[in-house]
Structure 1
Amino acid sequence: LKVFGIRLNRVGRGGFAQVVREAVAHDALVSELIDAMLNARAALWKEYCRLHDLVVRLVAGHELCRRFMQIPGVGPIAALSFMTAVDDPSRFRRSRDVAAYFGLTSRRWQSGSSIDVKGRISKAGDGDVRRALYEAASALLTRYKKKDKVKAWGLALGKRSSHRKATVAVARKLAVIMHAMWTSGTFYCGDPDASAAEMHAETTAKQRKLLGPYA
């Protein structure tokens, strides 16, 4: 629209199409062009919602994914992506090996005893799972408002280095925690001071919000 000199104010997803149509209503040619694009957008959004509903339904029926979602920031996509990518947790002798498998550990150059340099993360393995873990870590650090030991650790790390490095570190820790939960059959407890009833209520509320009628 900027090409035609049309600028939009901030608008939400629901009212976007109507605002755009009103902005181009004075020009018949532009209106017809934009209408075709909006129709394509509506069709894509409809199919996206259908696919997302199928994912949510699958996650809702899987006990392990629901257990992963006890972790703040971890939603249906992150839980299902991690589970399907790992497939068999016994492939990894230690839980911390999972972080390296998904490229969340630093590259390292060593030569004898004099050179030992750590670089950026290797970005090996499944990029989709790595991104899902990073987004889960970002949600935990920025959107989760309650007390959580992993969040507190990440925020402290961010003050010493940077928010981006802290988010990567939390994503790495989430991968380790999820694998450990899988192999041991345990549950996540982010706030050691919270009671069992409080943790259950928080988990139930989160699943009801993310899983909707399938919760």
Structure 2
Amino acid sequence: MAASDDLSALPIPPQHRMALASMVREYLFLLSEDKLLRAEIRTATMRMHPDRFKRLTSIIGVGETAASHFLAELFSPERFNRAEEVTSYLGLAPVVSQSGNSKARAKLRPVGQKRLRGILVEAAWQWTWRDPEAKAIYNHHFAKHGIGQKAIVAVARKLAIKLWRMTVETPPSPVEGVARGAWSG
């Protein structure tokens, strides 16, 4: 790891070197544990929800990490009745605050699944770079606000809704798919 090498190379007094070495070892241990847990979550999710997992990873920009965390963190997506409930649960829904005659301002309330929200934002960047639909959403919000972070969160919100719909809606059977065209989710 580059970070641990950088830390170990710092010029520090000898009496502090042992403490730093201990912290670097702990850091490397935690990184390896995190990697193992992520792999375990991915494996369990693929085993428990193989069809949903396959549908989610079919979206450009949504890889195994995003799909497995979405399914694991949302756990029972059927409990949500509307897309707004999902985005609110994930902390991706804007909350409008207005007092008196002041202009209404929408901002995100830092609630919900912080790790999943971060993963969805990263997946939204991938989706934006690779899919014209997502790029159009990003460009629309960027033109409206002029702030890249707001635009990508709007894309992440749309992506979360798309993922949720793909987990709760039943895709057409192969025979129906041929008759009506491919399922768009």
**TM-score with structure 1 length normalisation?**
0.61
Q: Identity over aligned residues, as a percent? A: 25
- The one of 38, 52, 70 equivalent to 1:52 is 38
Which residue of 2 is the match for residue 119 of structure 1? Answer: 106
Corresponding residue of 2:86: 98
What is the CA-CA distance between 1:17 and the residue it aligns to? Answer: 4.0
What 5-or-longer segments of structure 2 have no aligned partner?
A: 173-181
> Structure 1's 100 and 21: CA in aligned 2 closer, same or farther, altered over 3 A?
closer
Secondary structure at the aligned position of 1:74 is classed as coil
User: Is structure 2 residue 54 aligned with structure 1 residue 69?
Assistant: no
Question: In structure 1, how many angstroms separate the alpha carbons of the residues matched to 2:8 and 2:72?
Answer: 42
| Residue 158 to residue 83, structure 1, CA distance change in 2 (3 Å) | same
After superposition, give the CA deviation of every residue in 1:168-204 in whole Å (9 maximum; x if it has no partner).
11111011111211222349xxxxxxxx9xxxxxxxx
Aligned to 1:36: 22
Residues 45, 71 of structure 2: 8 Å contact kept:
no
Question: Alignment partner for residue 125 of structure 2, among 116, 126, 138?
Answer: 138
Which letter does structure 2 place at the counterpart of 1:131? G
Does 2:172 align with 1:184? no
Asked whether the 8 Å contact 2:83–2:161 carries over to 1, the reply is yes
- In structure 2, relative to structure 1, the CA distance for the partners of 1:116 and 1:183 (3 Å cut) is farther
Aligned residues of 1:106 and 1:118 also touching (Cα < 8 A): no
Aligned length: 169
1:83 to 59, 63, 71: 71
Query: Contact 1:59 / 1:66 at 8 angstroms: preserved in 2?
Result: no
Aligned to 2:152: 167
Structure 1 pair 23–152 and aligned structure 2 pair: CA distance change class (3 A): same
Larger Rg: 1 or 2? 1
Q: Deviations over 1:50-92 (max 9, x none)?
A: 2222123224433212321222333444323332343333333
More helix by share: 2
Q: Structure 1 residues 67-76 or 174-183, which shifts more?
A: 67-76
Q: Which residue of 1 aligns with 2:176?
A: none
DSSP-derived class of the 1:155 partner: helix
Distance 1:108 1:20 in 2: 44
Bigger relative contact order, structure 1 or 2, given CA contacts below 8 A and separation 6+?
A: 1
The amino acid of 1:164's aligned partner reads: Q
User: Structure 2 length as normaliser, TM-score?
Assistant: 0.69
Residues 98, 40 of structure 1: alpha-carbon distance in 2 compared, 3 angstrom cutoff: closer
